[in-house]
Structure 1
Amino acid sequence: MPTKVIIGAQWGDEGKAKIIDILSEKADVVVRCQGGNNAGHTVTVNEEVYKFHLIPSGILYPGKTCVVGNGVVIDPEGILGEIDHLVGKGIDVSTIKISSRAHLVMPYHKALDKAKETLSAKEGKDIGTTMKGIGPCYMDKAERTGIRVCDLYHDEVFKEKVRTNVKIKNAMLKHVYHQEVQFDAEVIIADYMRYRERLRTYIDDTTVIVYEAIKEGKDVLFEGAQGTLLDLDIGTYPYVTSSHPVTGGACIGAGIGPTMIDECIGVMKGYITRVGKGPFPTELEDEIGERIREEGHEYGTTTGRPRRCGWFDAIIGEFAVRTSGLTQIALNKIDVLKDIEKIKICVGYELNGKVIKYFPASLEDLELCKPVYEEMEGWGDISHIRTYEALPDSVKKYLARIEELCGCKITMVGVGPNRDQNIVIK
């Protein structure tokens, strides 16, 4: 198993955790590279469901080093809660390593996130964030006023940064957002001093850990969160996350160079979903869309919000292949489409009377795009099938057409949520 990056190749929620879980069995190190606890990975093992937000899902395999990299923003209360939950399930957490360079989500970040969303909602301009404080934390990071994990272990530096930031954030909350909530810097300092003692055993220079593992020939798996169209630079801006869920983000978020990546697997669903606002060309606002939502349990891991559902969009698939250099596609949840007579694939967009084959940057243009569909024959229940050869011809034709349109080989097909419901295509 070479060094691999696994990314979401749609709007997130593609079932990355299942693929990561399967590949983690042969990995030595599993690395989370970006995002915060606004993202969620769900893994089903022996009918038991595990939900991860910050800790790599590779932790379910004993002995795997699980790295939370420098590109992740960490809510100490959140990650300690995950650790406690895993300990309660009898999972060994001693192999977790948290980057000393990662930035900390602070209480005022959550308050600012909520205040901005609330104000924007009144004007119909809210983004649909999880209100976990992730965006404001990345804002401080970019503004160079953020607080990092390493700051926790330098008392005076940490206290000065908290006091300075609280003064500014309180003023913003009061005078910009007209909120009554105000923070006491000393209370925050005391809380985070308690967190640091519990976190101490997990903190390390993870850039060294990852680099040395690769140099020693160990199998390293980079675990992406969210999805390509949520990328800050190339996603459906402004309805995006505050980090880079594409292959390039894995390099920056783990602190290693691009020449150390051997393979990149893009995870897609046999249909497509999105959470929150923004244009969605193939969205199904009908009985089929509702059926896919219920059959696929399409509700957010972090928020519980219902996901918008639509037909597979090959324009988005090709975009992900191109912008992340995908070498393989893992196509999940095609079992969800069972018993639908005609399956559609979007092969282009009609924009201003012309058919285009690219994904527009402008949301105004994307809003005007009408999907151009091809129809294919459907299939019945395939959740019991375990080999490619046993799949119905209609499924094989569907897979082949997606490969052709996206320009990338499908190497894994998911026919259910469990570990054993994954077909490897050689």
Structure 2
Amino acid sequence: MQATVVIGANYGDEGKGLITDYLAALSNTNTLVIRFNGGAQAGHTVQLPNGLRHVFSHFSSGTFAGATTYLSDFFIANPILFTQELEKLKTCGYSPTVTIHPNAVVTTPYDMYINQMFENFHGKKRHGSCGVGISETIERNLHTKFQLTVKDLFDQEKLTAKLLNIRDEWLECRLDQLIHRKLTQEEKDLISSEDILEYFLGDIQNFLTYCDVADYSYLDKWDKLIFEGAQGLLLDQEHKGFPHVTRSNTGVQNVSTIAKLTNINHLDIHYVTRCYLTRHGAGPLLNECPSCPCPNFKDETNLPHKFQGSLRFAPLDIEELNTEIAEDLNKLSKQISKNVTLAVTCLDQFEEKIAVSKGAGNTIELAKKKFIKYLFKKTKFDNYIFSYGPTRADCKPAVEFA
């Protein structure tokens, strides 16, 4: 069995939602999109030619193309934000089918609270997270007593006991580790609110009512599999950019693990990059631009954020792109064959010249057609896709630009 994979090649925000939607729309068979990392911090924008637009977090970016969503055991589920996103999709006329692995970990409102307290405490030196509790969920689940996964959600009595343990024991202990002070009485009153617990139990019930639960044998039922990644290679938890990374394997590693558990023996891997670099959050950014370099820049998704700040920009470093992708492909099992595509988005945002990084402090500017030729010359991928706009209709394989 073969599958398609979509991976961000940079710091996220490359256009993974666009490419996933494009690939799902090309499929004329029964299609399942698998979220293989990350969680509610993902913001994958899909816009249809008719103007309908949604930023996908829990649901796959193949939803508008009719694909079903599967949340793997590497996914971090957040019943609060799942419920909110579902309501938005329903107003668009969509009620997508979702299945989740029983071992997927679950974020609580207490993880979100810890995350936001930590970011507020560090001020300008903050990590730059989205504030939805991703890292804190993973940290808590390293401790057996406080673990919470999807399979733990069905027994109401045991679930309530677990949540009370997290609230009354874990939360204050963890905050003491992170911000080195005791909670004020006002803060204690807030987190001990029974309303927070009751509302969360209600969101969990909605989550369980809507989602089916199944292990990886569920994948055998589908004709077409698309693995949709979150964030990007430069944010991988093992990347040299630590600590300004995400606690997730953002490349092919998780896909390779899932492939070994199923009958997948071939992957069509799509690495996605804008024709320039962006970073939304703290951390290094080589040759960072003082302002947006794109004359026609438009991004309604990556707006200024309380913890992440404003979107940052830099020229694309093609040599670094090659290196990061090569290192990621080394993590793929040798038993799995592959075909590699580079998808380049946002070409419509430049009218004439596009800057390219040539190392620290050095950039060159190329006319748009020369940029594409330069890309062909400096990279050696099996296929290329170029996008000149925000919808699947704007995505074309390289042969159409020859």
Amino acid at match of 2:201: M
Which residue does 1:359 correspond to in 2?
none
The one-letter amino acid of 1:169's match is W
2:345 to 315, 332, 344: 332
C-alpha distance in 2 between matches for 1:18 and 1:408:
20
One-letter code aligned to 1:40:
G
CA distance in 2, matches of 1:225, 1:49: 19
Say whether residues 1:373 and 2:374 are aligned partners.
no
Counterpart code for 2:156: D
Give me the whole-angstrom Cα distance separating, in 1, the residues matched to 2:154 and 2:283: 41
Query: Cα deviation per residue 1:202-255 (whole Å; 9 max; x = unaligned)?
Result: 131142212x146xxx11000111111111112511111111111113345788
Count of aligned pairs between the two proteins: 375
- Match of 1:151, SS state, is helix
Amino acid in the other structure paired with 2:13 = D
Secondary structure of the structure 2 residue equivalent to 1:23: helix
Change in CA separation of 1:24 and 1:174 when aligned onto 2, cut-off 3 Å = closer
Partner of 2:378: 405
Instruction: Write the distance in 2 (CA, Å) between the matches of 1:137 and 1:261.
Output: 32
Counterpart position of 2:10: 10
| 2:160 matched residue in structure 1 | 159
Structure 1 position 146 matched with structure 2 position 151: no
Q: Which amino acid aligns with 2:216?
A: T
Alignment partners' CA distance in 1, 2:129 and 2:286: 21
Instruction: Please tell me whether residue 272 in structure 1 is matched to residue 273 in structure 2.
Output: no
Partner of 2:287: 282
The correspondence of residues 281-320 of structure 1 with structure 2, limited to 5 A, is 281-285=286-290, 289-292=291-294, 295-297=297-299, 300=302, 303=305, 305-320=309-324
Identity of aligned residues (%): 22
The verdict on how the C-alpha distance between 1:372 and 1:302 changes in structure 2, with shifts beyond 3 A counting, is closer
C-alpha separation between the residues in 2 aligned to 1:65 and 1:333?
27
CA distance in 2: counterparts of 1:255 and 1:230, whole angstroms: 24
- Is 1:345 aligned with 2:356? yes
What is the CA–CA distance in structure 1 between the aligned matches of 2:122 and 2:208, rounded to whole Å? 38
The aligned amino acid for 1:103 is V
- Tell me which of the two structures has the higher relative contact order, counting C-alpha pairs closer than 8 angstroms and 6 or more residues apart: 2
CA distance in structure 2 between the partners assigned to 1:107 and 1:213 by the alignment:
35
Does residue 68 of structure 2 align to residue 65 of structure 1? yes
* 1:251/1:155 CA distance change after superposition, 3 Å: farther
Shift of 1:44: 0.8
Cα–Cα, structure 1 residues 298 and 338, in superposed 2: closer, same or farther, change >3 Å? farther
Contact in 2 for aligned 1:8/1:268 (Cα 8 Å): yes
Q: Matches of 1:270 and 1:375 in 2, distance apart?
A: 12
Aligned partner of 2:170: which letter?
Answer: K
Q: Structure 2: which 5+ runs fail to align?
A: 330-338
Going from structure 1 to structure 2, the CA distance change for 1:270 and 1:131 (only over 3 Å counts) comes to same
CA distance in 2, matches of 1:243, 1:301: 23
Alignment match of 1:203 (pick from 180, 193, 212): 212
Aligned equivalent of 1:392: none
Distance 1:293 1:9, change over 3 A: farther
Q: Summarize the Cα distance change of 1:327–1:371 in structure 2 as closer, same or farther, 3 Å threshold.
A: farther
1:74 to 1:101, Cα distance in 2 relative to 1, 3 A: same
Please state how far the C-alpha of 1:294 moved relative to its aligned partner.
6.0
Distance in 2 (CA, whole Å) between partners of 1:101 and 1:186 is 27
Equivalent residue number for residue 43 of structure 1: 46
SS of the equivalent of 1:310 reads strand
What's the Cα RMSD here? 2.6
User: Aligned to 1:87, what secondary structure does the other structure show?
Assistant: helix
Q: Structure 2 matches for 1:75-114, cutoff 5 A? A: 75-93=78-96, 95-114=97-116
What secondary structure is seen at the aligned counterpart in 1 of 2:386? strand
Structure 1: give runs of 5+ residues left out of the alignment. Answer: 350-369, 380-394
Distance 1:174 1:295 in 2: 40
Tell me the alpha carbon deviations over residues 368-394 of structure 1, each in whole angstroms, 9 at most, x when there is no partner: xx2443442x24xxxxxxxxxxxxxxx
Contact kept? 1:115, 1:173, Cα under 8 Å: no
Note the alpha carbon deviations across 1:289-328, whole angstroms, 9 max, x for none: 4242862437516948531111111133112321222711
Q: Which AA in structure 1 matches 2:129?
A: T
